[in-house]
Amino acid sequence: MNKTTSFVIGNGPSKDLYQAQDGLRVVCNLAWHIDHDYISIIDPQPIEYINKTKQFPKNPIWVSPKAKRLIEQYQLPIEYECVHNSTVRYNNAQCVVKNLLSHGATTIHLYGCDTLWSEDMISSQDLLIPRPGRDKTLWRQWRKLWQEIFAHNTQVDYYIHSPVRVDTPDYGKNVRWHQHLII
């Protein structure tokens, strides 16, 4: 992993704004239809889904210890690396960003991270793996964690990609908004 410009594609509706670009591309969970270099999975449900459907990803997966245990338990033919070891309750995109930062990323583009401006917890993964009972206020915790990530890594340029006409909170001088017109 030696690319300094990275693209993190989360599971929110704005993931559809992403168009393939040069740089390191990481998709979260089951968004394999998007051109990518790595997949990131932190929760056990996507691994359960992969085991059940036998739809195996072709690219390597960055996983959490929980996901790693399931891959090994099911003996899935998947290339993986356990890189997400935080005890903080980060969301998947935040785990990806933390890993990219540890490898020297200098520019990070964020797509599909809609809780940065919205309280909407919609995830494209929910269409495949329903998650009833998820805390509807989790976006508050995630937004606070984003603020900490941005503030503690001011040497990195972040670009939040969103639709036009959304609220754009000020996350600091190193965080810029790129608003896209949706046609």
Return the pLDDT at 2.
Answer: 52
Return the pLDDT at 125.
Answer: 78
Q: What is the pLDDT of residues 5-62, one digit of tens each?
A: 999 999 999 999 999 889 999 999 988 788 999 999 999 999 999 999 999 999 999 9
Mean pLDDT of all residues belonging to the chain: 92
Alpha helices in the chain (DSSP H): 44-53, 65-74, 92-102, 138-152
State the pLDDT confidence band at 95, using cuts at 50, 70 and 90.
Answer: very high
The whole-angstrom separation of Cα 99 and Cα 83 is 7
Long-range contacts of residues 5-8, Cβ cutoff 8 Å, at least 24 apart: 5/105, 5/106, 5/107, 5/108, 5/109, 6/100, 6/105, 6/107, 6/108, 6/109, 7/108, 7/109, 7/111, 8/93, 8/96, 8/97, 8/100, 8/108, 8/109, 8/110, 8/111, 8/112, 8/113
133-139 mean pLDDT:
84
Whether the predicted pLDDT of 87 surpasses 60: yes
Q: In the chain, pLDDT over 70 holds for what percent of residues?
A: 98
Alpha helices in 18-64 (DSSP H): 44-53
Tokens of 127: 């269409």
Return the pLDDT at 183.
Answer: 64
Return the pLDDT at 136.
Answer: 83
All structural domains of the chain with their residue ranges: 5-180
68-76 mean pLDDT:
97
Return the pLDDT at 3.
Answer: 64
